[in-house]
Amino acid sequence: MPADREKFPLPERLFLAYTAVSRWATSGSITSPDSLGGRRGCANPFALFKILLFLLIILLLPIFVLPMMLVRLVESGRQSFRYGSSVDITAGDEARWGHGILPPVPGDAVIRSGGAAIANGDPGFRVTALTDWAVAATALNCQSLVSGDATCTRTFMANGLYRAHQALLELRARSEVSCAGAWRAVGAAVVGVTRSQLVEEVRVRVHCEGWRIERHEHSGLTLRGGPEVASWSEDLTFARSAGAVTPASGGLPANRCPSCGAHLDLDPGGACRYCRGVVTAGNDDWVLVSWQREPW
């Protein structure tokens, strides 16, 4: 429902009425005359009326704001404060530089033993297939962020991640947040292998080089980044169901349908156009389930 047609509760309508009157009272410069040759400032009776009205509504502010505050307080209840305090909110530089911190890398032995455990159940498993794929995926991730369209990531993102990524790009576009830049992966290495009863996960850290800049189009403010060349890391986590094995065709990393082996051609739902199998669910082959970018 468009916001301007929405019927807000009475206390909030009171608050909206208050802001509308205050906006009117402060509109226009009181130091300039109404018309050519007209009187300025307090000598202008209309401007004087607006000043008095503005002072009066400032005085009456609690009458308009208190009902909304009290209703919201009653609605939220005491329990909400306990929950509210448990939500981890950070602000300022701490928020910017704390968002997306990549997890530490475990020792080589841990990674090797994890890889060996997967290879035990799947002789076709090759770590290099995933690192090469991560490098190729980085170029497409860059393309999707710059163009604001996630379609190019459909062939490697799991359904959930793809939908969330598409939704984020839409959300950014609605808020006039844009991204420009050009970057590429200059190296990739496996930094984590985990297995549970249900899934196998391989985390690949990609080292990127290039430039990127994020702007708010309406205000012209640069939010993050700049035109200078920089380097940073991103973690791409691939996962598949425990018990899945690498298809003979090489599967998604080799640009083949893991189900029928045909050249990869997917519909927007992640289903192969030849065999109709939904191949990006992670049941048959590796898919990207998480993409973390270092703070920037």
214 vs 172: CA distance, rounded Å = 11
Instruction: Supply 280's token pair.
Output: 């990006």
Closest contact distance (angstroms) between CB of 228 and another protein is: 19
Look up residue 98 and give its two tokens.
Answer: 């704390």
Q: State in angstroms the smallest separation of the CB of 266 from another protein.
A: 11
Contact 115, 127 (CB under 8 A): yes
* Cβ nearer to another protein, comparing 261 with 295: 295
Closest separation in Å from C-beta 177 to another protein: 5
Closest CB to another protein among 43 and 242? 242
Nearer to another protein, 12 or 209 (CB): 12
Measured from the CB atom, the residue of 92 and 104 that comes closer to another protein is 92
What is the distance between the alpha carbons of residues 203 and 183, in angstroms, rounded to a whole number? 20
* Residue (45 or 267) nearer to another protein, CB: 267
Compute the residue count for the chain. 296
CA proximity to 122, closest of 24, 245, 7, 239: 245
Rounded to an integer, what distance in angstroms lies between the CA atom of residue 225 and that of residue 223? Answer: 7
CB-based burial of residue 143 (10 Å sphere; 0-12 exposed, 13-18 middle, 19+ buried)?
middle
Q: How far is the CB of 48 from another protein (least distance, A)?
A: 21
When the beta carbons of 37 and 75 are compared against another protein, the nearer one is: 75
* Terminal CA-CA length for the chain: 36
Give least dist CB 265 to another protein, A. 15
- C-beta closer to another protein: residue 39 or 117: 117
| Smallest separation, CB 84 to another protein (Å) | 6
- To another protein, the closest distance from the beta carbon of 71 in angstroms equals 10
Q: Are the C-beta atoms of 284 and 122 separated by less than 8 Å?
A: no
Q: Distance between CA 192 and CA 139 in Å, rounded?
A: 22
CA 248 to centroid of chain Cα atoms: 36
Number of Cβ atoms within 10 Å of the Cβ of 109: 8
The secondary structure of residue 4, as a DSSP letter, is G
Q: Cβ of residue 204: shortest distance to another protein, in angstroms? A: 13
Is the Cα torsion angle 22, 28, 29, 34 positive or negative in sign?
A: negative
Nearer to another protein, 52 or 61 (CB): 61
